[in-house]
Amino acid sequence: MRNLDTQHRRLAQLEHDVDRLLAGDTDVTAAPVMNTAGPRSYEQVTAANDAVRERCGWNVVDLDAAITPALRAEYEAWRSRQRVAWGLDDVAAVACAGLVGVGAIWFDATIDSAVRARLARLADTPLIRGWERDGRRMPIDYMGSGFGGRAHRVRSAGHDIGRPFEALSQIRAGQFRGRRWDNGVATPVQERFVPVESLGEALTLWAKHLAADFVTPMNLPLPGWTKLPELPIPALRQFAYDTYNQGANLRSLSVSSLPVLSTEVVVRTHVHGRAVLETGSAVLEPAAASLRSELLLAGHSLVGAAALGKAVTLAMVVSPAAGFWHINWPVLVRAAMLALEVARDARTRQNSPVPTWDDLATAIVPWQLTTAHELDRAITRSDAADARQVPAGGLPTSQEH
């Protein structure tokens, strides 16, 4: 920046002196020039420019005047892509988000119990009772041998929001389809119910049935969880029953998203609020957006580490099913996505490095020194040829030359 500013000031001063000379002013003192004999390294140019700046008292760098608007825009675009270092306020924001998220992880069972109690009150409302009556006597609620009990919903594909086609197919056909395991042998089970001809009616009844079951203490199985009891692996079948009985359900999955939301709110409020104070706009530059991704990744990683620590401890002390219930999947998935985003930003910065001075000279200067030397030699040869052709009467005048 100092070099650009120095060269701009020297050129401006020379242009000013030339203008005065052309206007007839004879009181013009030529400015000192640097020795340009031979090639000069960048360090030598910088030292010479600094000496000129000190002699002339040029203490301020006016970069806006030294470069063209196009180059200034390119420089600002490059600077906006560079990584922004963390400040103390960034560390404090991540710490605050981590504390809130870890608190939610530590008291996840208490929060789930509070939500379950609220939903139980909702189950007594006339609306939910009406939906429960409409959704009765459906094939997805079959409670026969091997499919009943407290955890009967994890044995029925109709209670799985991850298997809507199977659920609607059973409702429309009026037929329950399942698989019972006896001593390692699978026995297909089919039971007849009243069919539903309309797809719209079947979809409505299924939605009412799931809504009525969602507010009950057992809630609904995790998406795709009803597929595990159909697999020929006894350990997986038992794991599906145990985790569902321990509270791994759709309600707990929804509650586990609270730490994700709290971290996002704290970090985004900090980053966008600072942008509003500094620039008057909440829109982030690329560098600030990269910083936001780094802060979010740090916050979610803290919360995810706390959740995994609690889950591993309970898995060793109580049971694997109890530990699985406390794994915060939304936090882990969000952290993984942010890790990919941060890595992509890093690759983008690596693929757009700072251009060298040779690159800038090639892009900006329309001529090279070799071309200038060739032109000088051509003019010298032309002058020599003209000198040999001078007539006996004498040399031409300077104007004729």
For residue range 19-72, list pLDDT tens digits in order: 888 888 777 776 655 555 555 678 888 888 888 888 888 888 876 666 677 777
Residue 84: the pLDDT is 79
Residue 355: the pLDDT is 62
Angle at 231 between CA 230 and CA 237, to 5 degrees: 80
Residue 10: the pLDDT is 84
Q: Are 262 and 100 in contact (CB under 8 A)?
A: yes
Helix (H, G, I), strand (E, B) or coil at 84: coil
Copy the structure tokens of residue 49.
């420019």
> 175 phi and psi, to 5 degrees?
-140, 125
Helix (H, G, I), strand (E, B) or coil at 178: strand
Residue 294: the pLDDT is 92
The span from the CA of 114 to the CA of 398, in Å, is 102
Residue 398: the pLDDT is 41
The predicted model scores a pTM of 0.63
Residue 285: the pLDDT is 81
With a CB cutoff of 8 Å and minimum separation 6, the contacts of 375 are none
Residue 296: name the closest of 326, 271, 276 by CA: 271
The span from the CA of 398 to the CA of 287, in Å, is 61
Copy the structure tokens of residue 23.
């206007």
Residue 171: the pLDDT is 93
Nearest-10 Cα torsion for 378, 381, 387, 389: -90
Q: What's the Rg (C-alpha) of the chain? A: 39
Give, for 361, the enclosing helix (H) or strand (E): helix 357-364
Copy the structure tokens of residue 99.
């504390």
Q: What residues in the chain have per-residue pLDDT under 70?
A: 30-40, 63-67, 76-81, 351-376, 379-401
Residue 352: the pLDDT is 62
Average predicted confidence (pLDDT) for the chain: 83
